Each structure stands twice: as C-alpha cells, then as structure tokens.
Chains A and B, each alone.
Chain A
C-alpha cells in the first residue's frame, strides 16, 4: 500500500478513537490514527504524576495570568496549576457562545481519557426505551440487548470496579473487586436502604480503576492523583489500555498534530475516499485514503468535521440531509445537592485516597412513579473527615490552632446530583464562518440551554438529597445549587444521532452515516438520549460494536 493509504482511518484518539483503533487493528486492518494535538507518551510524558504539592509554586491554584489566558476554562475546576497542559488553550481554539456554553477539551493523544472522571455505568433497557415511551425526539434504533455483550467485552479489557447490585435501572458490569465504602457511607447506605424499603440504594461509585491485575498495568495505588496521568496505568486511558494493544498488532500508524478538516467524499461511489489533514505544526495539508473512516473526534468536533465535508452536495455538510446534524445537543446537568455533618464516628478514619465516591442510582420516575418531569438523576458523593482548611471557631492563633488542624476534623457527607437532559432539536451547534481559530478554520457556535424539564428536575435533585441525609441522621444539612451552564458536565452528546429513519437521524443503528456508509461516528455525537449516568462506557461499547460490524461489512464487500 502507498504510505498515504490505509484500510481504516480513525479520527481522534480519546476513549472512542482509542477503542476504534484497537479493535480495527486487532482485526487485521492497517489503521491510521489521527490526533489533532501533540503526542503524550504513557508514563514518560506524565510530567507531574509524582509531583508533591510543594513543588507547585501556587500549590495547584490559579494565577491571574491563567485567568486572563483561559476565559472559558476558568469557569470551573479545570483551570488549575496541576494539569493545565492537558486542557486545550481557549485562545487557540475559540468558539462563539450564542448562549453560555463551557467547552472543556483535551487536544493531545489520549484526549480526555487522561482527565476523565472514570465513573463507568451501563445504560439500562429503561434508557434505550425512554424516548419511545415518552414520545419525544426519536426512538433509539437499538435496545439494551443489542449492546449488552459489547459492554461485557469492553469491561473485561478496560477493567471496571464495582459491586453487584442487580438493579434493573443500572445493570451490573463485568466487575473487578469493588472499592470499599467507608464506615460512614456504609452506615448511611444501610439507613437509606431501610427507610426507603430497598427502593433507594447507596453503592460504591463504579469506575475504570483496576483492583485486580490486567496485563501491562499495575493496580490502582489509591493516590487519587489520576488527573496528572497515572504512572501505574491504574485507570483506563487510551495510553494505559487501548493504544498499547493497537500498537502491539503492528498495524497502527499514529499521527499527532493532524487536524482533520474534512472527509473526502466521492459522489460517484457515494462513499468517503479518505480525509484531508492540516498539520497543526507546519500548516501543510495532506490527504490520506482508506476504505472506512471512524469519526471519534468528540461529539462537537466530529460534527464539525461532518459540517465541513461534502458541502458541494449538501451545503450543511456530510450527514446533514436529515436536518439533524449539530442538533439535539445534550449534557448532564448537575452541581445541585446537599451536605451535612456526621455525628458519632470520631473514633473512625480511613487510610488511602480512594479515587471514587459513592453513587446513588436513579430512583425517580421508575417502576410506575410519575413526577412533574420525565427521566431522572443519580448522585455522586462521599463522606470524609475535614482537613486543615476547616474552620475551628474557638481557636484563632498559635500552637493550639496548629495542633487542632493537624488532626482530622469532623466527618461530613455530601452529594451532587447528575440529571438527564432531554434532546431538544433547537439546542444546536453550527459553523460560525465569521470567526477563525489559530489555523484559520471556522469555529463552532453554541446555542444550547436547559429547559423546564431539567429545571423541575433540579428541585428534586436538591430536596431528595436533603431528605436522604435527614433520614440518615445527618445534622446541619445544607442544600446547594451552584448553578449549571451547558457543557460543565463535559458530557457533550447528540450532534449526529442514530436512528431508524434517515429522514430524522444522521446515523443508522450501526453508527454509519446514512448518506455515506463507510463513515462511522461512535463518540458522544451518536447518542439519541442522555440517560443520567456517565456516558464513556457506552461509547466504548458502541465503538467496539461498530468496529466489529464495519469489518464484517468490509469482508462481505458491502463497504
């Protein structure tokens, strides 16, 4: 094969792209993996993964200069001194906010798989049926049974720790041994279970950390420094997991600094021939050719690539014939919950820094219950003893203060709800050609908001947590709503949704673009609804499923 021609091209090297590359390589395809940012080599390039706090001049905080340079990133926790290099620079990659939208991006090999929250949950049958039952948007073209085995397949490789619970709304994964709830969380779990007669549960947060050996990786060491990159490979990332597997096949070529500007569409064959790449370092353009293209550039950027492609045939881009490309944007709305003081456990503490908390699975609008909104939410939280930053009212200055703050403080417990956001056609992104990024490329404009259903849900999201803490004997409970702007969940979804009908969806049931069957989109763009659980595990399963389908179609010469 000439050196610009491959069997498959994968655009993006995050969670979805890493999986696409691994699967296609292992099935014998020659794969070109394109990443718009720099290379970031496992362990070697995790510059700060063992750096103690005192070696940061601002101890991890943010400077006025950082605030100046990162007008978007500064809106939430991602702007900090610890892993600043892992976040895309606002100044290089601007976008237009018709309405406020916080876009947190990772432009480097591995993408956001390095900084993700690692919470990993299966979707349930309820989630796949939801749109059809509620009569909103469009129905999913698949059901839980279509993806169930693919969940198992990716879980075995990625490594997901969690506890078996047999909950219909939150199917169990193929688990590694569960991390432990601490003594206070266990007590609260038991009280909640009893009070709500088993209808509500508090379980360990399921995460992609390994608690049992997986080849090539070391067990999680309970440092909770994941977001610097883990030198043990203790959590799933492209670097720790899928990339080494793809490399081991000798079928992979990884090309960093490769911004895919469009998919080359051949109108005679009605298929994609390959992609155009702008080298982010040299600004030179290249073309690469392949039989299939997997678009895994993250929900918004995958839509951006489609919008820029085949515009001589479809002015709004490849896959736009339904009028849904860029529409139906979803995220998870959150930052609302409650916390309070725990009494009676002063003789208990914990050892190690557990990189997860507890999870309270969805309980609203299930099993016949009907609220004044549809869908539901889950909670993520933890109980812990306060640290030195707590207020010690009676102690002001001196040795007594130092001694007191050197001991763990009182226990506290709290949780934040993550709620499902509905797909609204009018919540959309589109190209803003009047604004250009560092490379002269048009940027995205965001016009997205939460509506009544989400706002009504937030009332329960706050009050239900308060009630669960009350019935658990927690004192001085305070509710909070720290306000949510779309994007803050960093779970963008829906911009190229799947569907049964090409008139109302961008992709079919196998993630193929209806208008161009050798292009597959398997990242968050494909989602038809949002569920309330963290989505990454579903992208993994969806990608592995689509890759398997693509290769079988290639073998049948259907592509």
Chain B
C-alpha cells in the first residue's frame, strides 16, 4: 500500500483534519451506534447547494451546485459523521441562516451572491478561529489522557466540537474536487497516463492533474 501517501490525504483546506475521519488518524474508539439519525429535507439540500456554490461558484468551470454537493453533504453527514457531529451540522443550517438574517436582514436563500459571499467570509473567519481553539483544547486533552494513562488511570477525554462551517466547507471541497464536474472540469483528468514525466514544465494557470484515487 502507498503508505507514503497516507499523511497527504488528511489535512484539508480548512486547517482541520477530516471530520468524521478522525479515527483515521488516531484509531480511537467511537462509541456511537446510531447512524443516519438526522433527516435532511429537500429544502436543506437546496440550501446546502447554495452554500457550496458560494464557496466554489460557477465560473468558466463548473460550480459546486452543478456537482450536486448538497446531496453529497447529506450522504457524508448521515454515513460518516458521529451523532454529535451530525447534530452540529444540522444546527449549523439554522445558525447560518440566522447569521444571514442578522447581517443582511433576510434569509440566506433570499440573499444575493455578494451578500452570501460576504456572510461566508465572516463565518469562515469564525470557523478558523474555532479550529485553532479546538486544536489547542484537543491537544491539552490528549496530553492529559496520555499523562493519566501513564499513571495507570483511565481518562475520559472530551474533544471540542468543530464549527459547522468547517464541516460545510470541507465537504464542499471534498465533494467538488472528487466529483466528475470538478475533476474533469476544474482539473485535468487523465485516467490512463501510460507514462511518467518527472520534469514537466509548468506555467502559472495550468490546471492540476486530478488524482485517480
């Protein structure tokens, strides 16, 4: 297996490790047994499509809505998130809308693209701050756990919840850049390269090659 690739797969552009995939790193136990508890309505999917489209809008290449990123978020949150994270995500839909009302005086779905973008830039900043706090908090908890384990004690560590916008942005990026639209539209998709050139000339603006895995 390509173990050298392992670490590359983890960090996402949100500065946070892949949510739901934290076990990927730590191998820790996950006690949750309730899967797919959250219910997404059609309105939720449409809402998430617009959030995703604001993060990665259609330009001369396809946008996140065209890549059905809202529907992708539903599948990922239902199947891959813990119960707690699912709750954070569901609450986040309402919180994002409330934040929009506060900032622009109306629902996110009624906001124009500029208003949406302005709002999400604010939320992105907020989410990044939370991620930094979480990193520090979780680190302390992990160290505490290590200390207690070394002393032979059990320690029930609590990790801080992620920000809902971190989740939405992660899933938007993941969903879009692994979709057919993203890989073949925004990136260069070469399913059978047939050769390797380790010294290819590159000029700014050339698109990245989409990974096949």
Contact = CB atoms under 8 A, between A and B. Distances in A.
Interface string B166-203: 00000001110111100100110011111111111111
Contact of B11 (A61, A381, A389, A408): A389
A179 interface: yes
Interface stretch (A15-23, A397-405, A447-455, A457-465): A397-405
Nearest to A104: B1
A180 B30 CA distance: 42
A407 B54 contact: no
B178 A53 contact: yes
Interface in A144-185: 179-183, 185
A482 B56 CA distance: 33
B56 A223 contact: no
B11 A348 contact: no
Interface stretch (A63-71, A269-277, A300-308, A368-376): A63-71
Interface in B97-129: 117, 120-121, 124-125
B95 interface: no
Interface string A380-414: 11101111111110001111011101111100001
Bin the interface of chain B by size: 35 or more
Interface in B127-143: none
B198 A355 contact: no
Contacts of A367: none
A490 to B, nearest CB: 8
B24 interface: yes
B197 to A, nearest CB: 4
B38 interface: no
Nearest to A59: B178
B12 interface: yes
B208 A54 contact: no
Contact of A353 (B4, B54, B177, B211): B211
A454 to B, nearest CB: 18
Contact of B55 (A75, A182, A401, A480): A401
B173 A405 contact: yes
A224 B3 contact: no
A102 B194 CA distance: 36
B31 to A, nearest CB: 10
A117 B191 CA distance: 21
Contact of A75 (B27, B75, B203): B27
B13 A389 contact: yes
Interface stretch (B42-50, B77-85, B147-155, B156-164): B77-85
Interface in B10-53: 11-15, 18, 20-21, 23-25, 27, 30, 32-33, 35
A408 B208 contact: yes
B23 A352 contact: no
Interface string B59-94: 101010000000010011001111000000000000
Contacts of B9: 389
Contact of A224 (B18, B35, B187, B212): B212
B1 A61 contact: no
A68 B33 contact: yes
A76 interface: yes
A76 B27 contact: yes
A323 to B, nearest CB: 33
- Pick from A61, A186, A347, A382 the residue with the most CB of B within 10 Å: A61
Contacts of A57: 75, 79
A257 interface: no
A408 B213 contact: no
A89 B7 CA distance: 25
Given A352-B197, A402-B61, A63 B79 contact: yes
Given A64-B30, A225-B213, A396 B125 contact: yes
A333 to B, nearest CB: 13
B45 to A, nearest CB: 15
Nearest to A56: B178
A353 B212 contact: yes
B13 A392 contact: yes
B193 A351 contact: yes
A227 interface: yes
A292 interface: no
A385 B208 contact: yes
A415 interface: yes
B180 A117 contact: no
Which of A50, A222, A396, A415 has most B Cβ within 10 Å?
Answer: A396
Contact of A60 (B7, B59, B213): B213
A115 interface: yes
A115 B205 CA distance: 36
Contacts of A53: 178, 183, 211-213
A278 B40 CA distance: 48
A13 B162 CA distance: 46
Nearest to A349: B202
B178 A397 contact: no
Interface string A217-254: 00001111111000000000000000000000000000
A403 B81 CA distance: 29
Q: Which of B11, B80, B177: most chain A CB closer than 10 A?
A: B80
A399 B202 contact: no
B1 A78 contact: yes
B144 interface: no
Contact of B57 (A50, A339, A399): A399
A2 interface: no
A406 B61 contact: yes
A99 to B, nearest CB: 14
Contacts of B54: 397-398
Contacts of B196: 179-180, 222, 350-354
B76 A58 contact: yes
Contacts of B205: 407
A103 interface: no
Given A64-B35, A397-B55, A405 B211 contact: no
Indicate the member of B56, B72, B205, B207 with the most A CB atoms within 10 Å.
B56
A181 B61 CA distance: 33
Contacts of B2: 117, 224, 226-227, 355
Q: Which 10 A-B pairs have the closest CB atoms?
A: A182-B198, A352-B193, A352-B196, A75-B27, A349-B202, A63-B79, A408-B208, A351-B197, A388-B177, A59-B178
5 contacts: A64-B35, A348-B200, A353-B209, A381-B4, A407-B208
